[in-house]
Homo-oligomer: A and B are copies of this chain.
Amino acid sequence: MDLATVIGSILGWILMVTAILIGGSSLLGFIDPPSIMVVIGGSCAVIMVAFPFESIKRLPTVCMQTIFTKPSSPLALITTLVEFAEVARRDGILSLEAAASEVDDDFIKRGIQMAVDGTDPELIELIMEAELENQIMRHQQSRGILDGIGKYAPAMGMIGTLIGLVAMLAQMDDPSKIGAGMAVALLTTLYGALIANLIFLPMSDKLALRSKEEVLMKTIIIQGVMSIQSGDNPRIVEQKLHTYLPPTIRDAEAAKAAA
């Protein structure tokens, strides 16, 4: 579970509410149902035009992905792959079948299985690379709808403010009401900015990073399976895969090995 997402989200809203209360205003002054309708309703409407139903239905799942993710550990992954390389070298590649079935990562399992089945190395690489590329594309589509809300919510906020301003200016009989009118008009811009900057844009950023991490893991797996399949020396496999680790982790690892 990604606590940072949860804490950050809650903290952000608490700060905004506190800022309003400290400023001596009541929270009620910041809640205007028609404004909420324009910004949230309008964004929903536009999102329905901009994205297919299936993407919209997956929106809650996508948002949840920013909170629930199994942490990825490239180091543990490399250790597993190097062990596999040792087993393959010692007992032959067929002996990997049992070991692989215990891993709970589907991608490794399928890769090792293909190697065990004696599938042509080029075909293994082709299939695994295609899967990686298609996954990247799917991740981009998932993020697309978050970015879409991050783009259209502020636009809806601006449209709401323009509607409010036009309405207020057209009936400017009582100057004492101008302030209140403008306050309400500005609320939609505020809503749009909050929805975009406090919720959807940072979520999209986090998913982008998670996607990159997953790509790194899958890249290591592809490299590892290809190395194992070609019967590389386990030391070479380790050396190849360690290039994917940041120097800090690598040094800690080396220190541990030396100790």
Q: Which residues of A contact B (CB under 8 A)?
A: 2-5, 7-9, 11-12, 15-16, 18-20, 22-25, 29-30, 34-35, 37-38, 41-42, 44-53, 55-56, 66, 106, 123, 126-127, 130-131, 134, 137-138, 141, 144, 148, 152, 155-156, 158-160, 162-172, 178-180, 182-183, 186-187, 189-190, 193-194, 196-198, 201-203, 205-206, 209-210, 212, 216, 236, 239-240, 243-247
Query: Which of B7, B23, B49, B159 touches A4 (beta carbons < 8 Å)?
Result: B49
Question: Within 8 Å CB of A11, what residues of B?
Answer: 41, 44-45, 48
How many copies of the chain does the oligomer comprise? Answer: 5
In the assembled complex, the Cα of A77 lies from the Cα of B123 at a distance in Å of 21
Q: Which residue of B lies closest to A20 (CB)?
A: B163
Which of A56, A66, A159 has most B Cβ within 10 Å?
A159
Interface of A is mostly: helix
Query: Which of B3, B29, B52, B169 touches A209 (beta carbons < 8 Å)?
Result: B52
